[in-house]
Amino acid sequence: MKRILLFMMLIVLLLTSCHSLKKDLDNPDLTPEEFFQKAQEAVIDWNRYKLAIQFYEEFMRRYPDMKNKIIEAEYEIAFIKF
| Residue type (1 letter), 59 | F
In the predicted structure, residue 2 carries a pLDDT above the cut 70 = no
Q: How many helices (H) and strands (E) does the chain have?
A: 4, 0
pLDDT digits 0-9 by tens, 4-45: 655 556 555 555 554 566 678 888 889 999 999 999 999 988
Q: Which residue has the higher pLDDT, 49 or 24?
A: 49
Contacts (Cβ under 8 Å, ≥6 apart) of 60: 70, 73, 74
pTM: 0.71
pLDDT band for position 56 (cuts 50, 70, 90) = very high
- Beta-carbon contacts of 30 under 8 Å, excluding residues fewer than 6 positions away, are 24, 38
- Helix, strand or coil for residue 16? helix
Residue 20 makes CB contacts below 8 A (sequence gap 6+) with: none
Residue 76, pLDDT > 80, answer: yes
